[in-house]
Amino acid sequence: MDIKKLQATVIDALEDVKAQDIRVFDTVHLTSMFDRLAIASGTSNRQTKALAASVRDKVKEHGGNIVSIEGEETGEWVLVDLGDMVVHIMQPAIREYYRLEEIWGDKEIKLGAAKRTSKRTAEEVEEAPKKRSRHIAASQTTLDEEPKKPARKTAARKTATKTTATKTAAKTASKTARTPAGKTVKVAAGKTAAPRKTATKRATTRKAAE
């Protein structure tokens, strides 16, 4: 279990059974045996035992490991060893006598900050799959759209081809319409000229006869 999640779990377990004067210390710079040390007070043997049981059950519920629990027989001082974190649950008189805060209390972690950090870590873990799924969805959308692009280009080419063919047909029709008109004029002119020459010859012949 992540150390930040572990310390938040321990704090919640102690608060559930109304522990007094909960304090958490960072011990990384002091020892390599554990990273965190928590100290809390219980007003009676029964409460100290209940606090140790709450820590044990809560950590197991969240997937943590319990190395050992010591002092449950008397209940004056119960030690819960969680590997990376050690929890001391003590009655006020015992706590005042041994003063563990003076030994390990060089770097205290505020309880509010510890909880906020744990919540942020949990939210980041939950958001990670969402980001991946959005990325995958976006990739799938892009892949789905890719085959459509050539279809659009093909449609545009077909439209351009049709337009070109229409223009070509229009030009051809225009040329065809103009050509017969020119021929008709020439033919008409030739036919009209022939009778005029014949009439002139007839008139010349008549004058010669007279």
Distances (CA, A) of 21 to 14, 60, 101, 146: 10, 24, 12, 63
Q: How far apart are CA 56 and CA 95, in angstroms?
A: 21
* Cβ atoms 7, 119 nearer than 8 A: no
CATH of domain 3-125: 3.30.460.10
* Residue from 26, 21, 19, 84 nearest 52 by CA: 19
Residue 183's pLDDT is 44
> Tell me: the pLDDT tens digits for 175-207?
544 544 444 444 444 444 444 544 555 555 555
> Tell me: the pLDDT tens digits for 18-46?
999 999 999 999 999 999 999 999 999 99
Helix (H, G, I), strand (E, B) or coil at 72: coil
Long-range (24+ apart) CB contacts under 8 A made by 71-80 are 74/45, 75/42, 75/44, 75/45, 75/46, 75/48, 75/49, 76/45, 76/48, 77/48, 78/48, 78/49, 78/51, 78/52, 80/52, 80/55, 80/56
Instruction: Delimit the domains of the chain by residue range.
Output: 3-125
Residue 105's pLDDT is 87
Q: Is 16 exposed, middle or buried (0-12, 13-18, 19+ CB in 10 A)?
A: middle
With a cut of 50, list the residues of the chain below it in pLDDT: 121-122, 125, 128, 130-133, 135-136, 138-139, 142-143, 146-151, 153-154, 176-177, 179-195, 197-198
